A = this chain, B = another copy of it.
Amino acid sequence: MNTLKNDLFLRACKREKIERTPIWIMRQAGRYLPEYRAVRKKADFLTMCKTPELAAEVTLQPIDLIGVDAAIIFSDILVIPEAMGMHLEMHEGRGPVFPSPIRTLEDLNNLKTIDPFADLNYVLDAVSLTKRELNDRVPLIGFSGSPWTLLTYMVEGSGSKNFANVKKMIYNNPSLAHAILEKLSSAISVYLSAKIEAGANAVQIFDTWGGILSQDDYQEFSLQYVEKIISEITRKDEPVIYFPKGVHSNLDKLANCGADVLGLDWTMDLGKVRSEVGDKVALQGNMDPTVLYGTDEVIKKNALKTLKSFGNGSGHVFNLGHGILPDIPPSNAKALVNFIKENSQQFHS
């Protein structure tokens, strides 16, 4: 039974009639908040992920400080490969690094099959604790990377410009790539199901690197696994959001992948996508994150443009088209949230 005081986000995901457009912001629990940086000073990034009290603390910050309509559990998509046995380092500035990336069948065989209740219990504990502390104020979102996006990190080992290693694998050894993707898919299904069991009201699958693939390769190495995961997640009516950043093709297939909501990056035309997918899915997005560098006037103008682009009716979850940038003033994020709360009623009359 839904006892949430504010369930606008969930109702928008299900395209139910609502009073105004809900908003949350990707990376809303992050470095742009001084309160986050204060916690981060006390513990490194992975320690924060692995300490439920700290993860819960920063997850709640944007609810109190910015006023968003949903919380998203503080964690990282790379906790899965780490739980599978890959050594993960987080380097300030350089990003995550796997010093021993996966390149061979032997590397694959060394990856252990994870049980999220044992291997990722710290995430589940963080979800339960956050749920308690949220006290039903807003829904809580759990998330995972897509198999393809995780594979990309696991094979490249660190930030990449051309993704040469993972591309070499899919072209020269596609069966190895598929075997790793299979293993990841099973892990992700179980992981997201466990998050829902622990209290997550919705889950989002981040496919950050889907857009580096040709259309056929995207279908073969990414989308088919996402579809499999979505069909396997154990859930009641918790919506699944799929965010295929940089993927602009096959909207019809995307709309039929099983997700309740498609996340769009800022290069997509929200209105055009809506007219193409009809009422098959709700849409999330998609203001350019750099708009938040702008003046109050610029932020309001572009936020209104995004609302207008979606148009009248339900099925829109306002968000940026990618994560909030670390040097955005929190007051600008708050101005955006307030604007959406105060000016989106007109699209739901």
Chain A residues with CB under 8 Å of chain B are 162-164, 167-168, 171-172, 211-217, 246, 248-249, 266-269, 272, 288-291, 293-295, 298, 302, 305, 321, 325, 327
Contact = CB atoms under 8 A, between A and B. Distances in A.
A267 B213 contact: yes
Contact of A290 (B163, B249, B295, B325): B163
A288 B166 CA distance: 13
Q: Which of A162, A172, A214, A293 has the most CB of B within 10 A?
A: A214
Contact of A214 (B167, B171, B172, B266): B266
A214 B287 CA distance: 8
A164 B267 contact: no
A171 B267 CA distance: 16
Given A167-B290, A172-B298, A213-B267, 19 more contacts: A163-B290, A164-B290, A164-B293, A167-B288, A167-B291, A168-B293, A171-B293, A171-B294, A171-B295, A172-B293, A172-B294, A212-B267, A213-B288, A215-B267, A215-B268, A215-B269, A246-B267, A249-B268, A249-B269
A295 B168 CA distance: 10
B291 A171 contact: yes
Contacts of A249: 248, 267-269, 272
27 contacts: A162-B289, A162-B325, A163-B290, A164-B327, A167-B290, A168-B290, A168-B293, A168-B294, A171-B291, A171-B293, A171-B294, A171-B295, A172-B295, A172-B298, A211-B267, A212-B267, A213-B267, A214-B266, A214-B321, A215-B267, A215-B269, A216-B305, A246-B267, A248-B267, A249-B267, A249-B268, A249-B269
